[in-house]
Each structure stands twice: as C-alpha cells, then as structure tokens.
Amino acid sequence: MKIDFSLDQLEEVAQKIIAEKPNKVILFHGEMGVGKTTLIKQLCKTLGVIGATSSPTFSLVNEYQTIDNQIIYHFDFYRLNHEVEALDMGVDDYLYSGNWCFIEWAEKIPNLIPDEHSVITIALLSDGKRSLELS
C-alpha cells in the first residue's frame, strides 16, 4: 500500500493501515520529525486506546491498553547505543508476545526484529504532505 496524505487525513490513513491487516510488529522508518509518533498515536486511537499516548523516547517503551483489553507496545530506540540494551530490557518478550508492537528507530536493533513484521516508511513531500508506504 502506498498513499500520500496530509496530517488532517491521519484518521483515514490509520484505518487504511489496519484494514491492510499488517503483521503486529510494525517498524516505522522516516527522518526525525516526519510524523512517525503522530501516526502511531493515531493507530493506537484507531485500535481503541482511550488514554493519552506519548513518545517513549526516554522510557524506550510505552504500554497502552485498548477498550477490548488488547495491549499495544510503542518503542522508540533512538537513544539506544547497543542492541544489548534492548535485550536487557526484555525486548524479546515484547516482540514475541503476539501483541501490537510499533517500533521507531528499529535500525538500532536489526538482529532482534522478528522475521514476521511489516514496515511503514514515511517521507515528507515538498508540499508538506507525507508519503507512506506499507510493506
């Protein structure tokens, strides 16, 4: 799936992503500031998270619960220096839990990513819109 969108279309974009039935482990690629966290927040809302969501930049992982008791994990590995730091936090338990795992900066843990995963790549277009590809 490939689409171009503006930020006011985020709800529709999140619905389309979920409708594609991606793997529950999703890697988010894109430059800093392109909107990865903003999209993840909307995906959480679309999946039924009621409470506040935020970037886990300092905690590395945030856990959210949906209205139907699904668990969603949101990772931000930007600050990671070595893969072993992710192992020390028990990342394997999260990634193989069967729950949704949204991962920013997954390139920091390339050897730990499950084979079964999807990738969302976001790029900023010259007109301020974003280009998104789900693979």
Number of other CB atoms surrounding residue 127 within 10 Å: 7
What is the predicted pLDDT for the residue at 60?
Answer: 86
Q: Strand, coil or helix: what is 95?
A: helix
pLDDT at 58: 62
Q: What per-residue confidence (pLDDT) applies to 20?
A: 98
The total of other beta-carbon atoms located within 10 Å of residue 27's CB is: 22
13/4 Cα distance (integer angstroms)? 9
- 26: Cβ–Cβ under 8 A, 6 or more apart, which residues? 100, 101, 102, 103, 117, 118, 119, 120
| pLDDT tens, the chain, 135 aa long | 999 999 999 999 999 999 999 999 999 999 999 999 999 999 999 999 988 787 776 678 999 999 999 999 999 999 999 999 999 999 999 999 999 999 999 999 999 999 999 999 999 999 999 999 999
Cα dist. 15→54, 81, 101, 116 in Å? 20, 34, 17, 21
Supply the pLDDT for residue 115. Answer: 97
| Structure confidence at residue 89 (pLDDT) | 92
Q: What is the largest CA-CA distance in the chain?
A: 42
Q: Which residues of 91-117 are buried (b: 16+ CB within 10 A; e: fewer)?
A: beebbeeeebbbbbbbebbeebbeeeb
Query: Are the C-beta atoms of 102 and 8 separated by less than 8 Å?
Result: no
Question: What CATH number does the domain located at 2-134 have?
Answer: 3.40.50.300
The predicted pLDDT at position 57 comes to: 64
- Identify the helix (H) or strand (E) that includes residue 85: helix 83-88
